[in-house]
Amino acid sequence: MTREMRARVWRYVALVGLSLSVLFGQGVWAQDAKKILDEAAAVYENSNGLSAKFTINNFSKAQNIGESFEGTIQMRGDKFVLITPDVSTWFDGHTQWAYVARSEEVNVTTPSGDDLKMTNPMLLLNGYQKGFVPEFKGESTAPNGKSVYDIELKPKVKSDVVRIELRIEKFKKYPASIEVELKNGTRTRIVVDAIEVGLNQPDPFFTFPKGDYPDAEIIDLR
């Protein structure tokens, strides 16, 4: 897997993880935003495993091009399975498998330290929380017709991220969408199309299913 491809995968994992598990860590938040995000955190903590379908829309202002694709993520605790058209990723809390469809190769790694922050949505979220100041912007209606709370996150120090716009369903406290604007004009929007909770996925679910990919080349980078 190329460095560019790895960066792309990690970015999607980060954004999806942030939208699905918002406020799972401990941060210092504006009061209204803190209450909403604390409630969203409790929903995730009590979900006993969840699955979400999402749509990602990317737009580059500099290149005046955009792309859109759908994906799914399943999570339980610090484990997850992320499926996108280009890459499928399994993480069992210790080992990560990233299957690249076009090359039929599986990169096996054991993330640690900064690497782990780039593969574990929970740790990524903690990092975002520490680096951003939230502001409650009010209420609105999401594209799916549901009432949502609007929260904006701005970085405490200058970074590539200009702001993050987050929408949380008013009644169920599920994430509805997240939009990230970067300094270079790129905007990435993730819309959560559906969420299912109470799945209680078994541990083997989060490991690479070798039998489903008999022709895949295993590249062990541990």
User: For the sheet containing 132-141, what is the strand order?
Assistant: 132-141, 147-155, 161-169, 175-182, 187-197, 50-60, 65-76, 79-83, 87-91, 96-100, 105-109, 217-220
- Residue for token pair 């680096």: 131
Q: How confident is the model at residue 23 (pLDDT cuts 50, 70, 90)?
A: very low
Record: fold of 3-205: outer membrane lipoprotein receptor (LolB), chain A (2.50.20)
- Asked if 93 and 81 count as a contact pair (C-beta separation under 8 A), the reply is no
Task: Show me where the domains of the chain are located.
Answer: 3-205
- High-pLDDT (> 70) share of the chain, %: 77
| pLDDT at 24 (0 to 100) | 41
| pLDDT at 173 (0 to 100) | 85
Find, among 123, 168, 124, 162, the residue nearest to 146 by Cα.
Answer: 168
| pLDDT at 54 (0 to 100) | 87
Q: How confident is the model at residue 97 (pLDDT cuts 50, 70, 90)?
A: very high
| pLDDT at 175 (0 to 100) | 83
Q: What is the mean pLDDT of the chain?
A: 79
- Asked if 110 and 120 count as a contact pair (C-beta separation under 8 A), the reply is no
